[in-house]
Amino acid sequence: AHLARIEAVDEKVHAFLYVDREGALAQARAVDEKRARGEKLGPLAGVPLALKDIFTTEGVPTTVGSKILEGWIPPYDATLTKKLKAADVVILGKTNMDEFAMGSSTENSAYGPTGNPWDLTKIPGGSGGGSSAALASFEAPLAIGTDTGGSIRQPAAVTGTVGVKPTYGAVSRFGMVAFSSSLDQGGPCARTVLDAALLHEVIAGHDPLDSTSVDAPVPPVVEAARNGSVAGMRVGVVKQFRGEGYQAGVIQRFDESVALLKELGAEIVELDCPSFDLGLSAYYLIAPSECSSNLARFDGLRYGLRTGDDGGHSAEEVTSLTREAGFGPEVKRRIMLGTYALSSGYYDAYYGSAQKVRTLITRDFEKAFEQVDVIVSPTTPTTAFPIGERADDPMAMYLADLCTIPTNLAGNAAMSLPCGLAPEDNLPVGLQIIAPAMQDDRLYKVGAAVE
């Protein structure tokens, strides 16, 4: 049914870069056979899923939305892919994304944009716009995203779906193409809080193949999602997450959510987190710095595209020509920003300062979580904007992640879930819930209560 739905609508939505029809049917058949033999089935047996094209899949193309990996077929599965298969999930295919997960609209994909199923002329968010659009268009009931600065939560917000960025280190990064290693985090996307929890439990857990993987039990997220409640909880509202640049309808729906939380028995606490205002600036030094190092591996010699290998060019020239042809403008901009910020003489002024700001933001969270159990905010300042509107204005694009970035810098957990439509454009608004590190279950407890 989901393959038929993809066939019917994906020409317009363009959520998928690759539909693995044969692979999906084979996985589904294998589940049927297991069931017929009376074997024990995985926890999500037979449930179809759309996988962001940033995770390696053995024998199935993985492009990261970039020309530089066009035609590359990974020889191995990411840990996350392995876990999905072990849970008997049926992987429908690979979803569209901003190139190397750099963007907030999926317009930076080298393979063309994805439409927002609520209005195909609007962006579905980014970088994981393909995954969120697949959910909103009912092409898949579950999806996987990655969130470096908001790429799970912002797409969830603008498509009226649920997305969770687990605590940093909760889901293995092995086989997940690196953008900014100290920020990158894979996580679940779904249409309900409980569905997200069921997927969270399958993909999380310690992995010795990832040096920053957290070696601790997965928080009881499913139990929390089944027992939604905010009675007696202290919920923080951060002063810095409103004001200029926020759409009136977004603030209206957010204020209604806060009123609902109060009605359900939560105590609302106003919080001041002054360093959150510096989050965006710190992020746009740290993320490009780390990406300039991570993307050095795309040299035209190891994987994917190779340009100029005609006998007339040196190895260095082949690398240069390949990168010129294979990387899009946003990726080049970030590599240049990053190499500049890391260069000797500038390192302390830029990268060093950004790391200090990161510490200040972490401390603001620590202080906040002495007073409250969770923090709530709008996920993103506006609803989905028109495709093309911010394409030539990186600063305007970067503002989409104003409320999501502090969490990545501090490494704690956050969820976005729908909280109604903005009255001025009838487009979905996202409510963000933030919890301390390793307390991911709180997101689900609160999310299930207000869903």
How far apart are the C-alpha atoms of 13 and 100, rounded to whole Å? Answer: 20
Residue position matching structure tokens 């857990």: 205
How far apart are the C-alpha atoms of 450 and 225, rounded to whole Å? Answer: 11
User: Is 148 an interacting residue with respect to ligand GLN (CB under 6 A)?
Assistant: yes
Q: Among this protein's residues, is 52 annotated catalytic? A: yes
Interface size with ligand GLN, residues (CB under 6 A): 13
Q: Among this protein's residues, is 151 annotated catalytic? A: yes
Closest approach of ligand GLN to the CB of residue 105, in Å: 9
Q: Which stretch binds ligand GLN (CB under 6 A): 42-50, 95-103, 259-267, 349-357?
A: 95-103
Q: Which of 79, 95, 127, 257 binds ligand GLN (CB under 6 A)?
A: 127
Q: 87 or 402, CB closer to ligand GLN?
A: 402
Q: Which of 115, 149, 169, 308 binds ligand GLN (CB under 6 A)?
A: 149
Q: 319 or 408, CB closer to ligand GLN?
A: 408
Pair of tokens at residue 306: 């190779």
How far apart are the C-alpha atoms of 37 and 43, rounded to whole Å? Answer: 17
Strand, helix or coil for residue 385: coil
Is the separation of the CB atoms in 154 and 250 below 8 Å? no
Q: Among this protein's residues, is 281 annotated catalytic? A: no
Q: Which of 290, 401, 440, 441 binds ligand GLN (CB under 6 A)?
A: 401
Report DSSP letters for 79-117, one per residue.
HHHHHHHHTT-EEEEEE--SGGG--SSSTT-TT----BT
The values of phi and psi at residue 241, to 5°, are: -95, 40
Closest approach of ligand GLN to the CB of residue 2, in Å: 26
Q: Which of 287, 368, 414, 437 binds ligand GLN (CB under 6 A)?
A: 287
Please classify residue 125 by burial: count the beta carbons closer than 10 Å to its beta carbon, then call 0-12 exposed, 13-18 middle and 19+ buried.
Answer: buried
User: Is 443 an interacting residue with respect to ligand GLN (CB under 6 A)?
Assistant: no
Q: Which of 57, 62, 95, 104 binds ligand GLN (CB under 6 A)?
A: 104
Q: Which of 48, 103, 163, 447 binds ligand GLN (CB under 6 A)?
A: 103
Residue 426 gets the label, from left (phi > 0), alpha (psi -120 to 50) or beta, of: left
User: Is 102 an interacting residue with respect to ligand GLN (CB under 6 A)?
Assistant: yes
> What does the binding site for ligand GLN look like in residue numbers (CB under 6 A)?
101-104, 127, 147-151, 179, 287, 401
Active centre residues (catalytic): 52, 127, 151
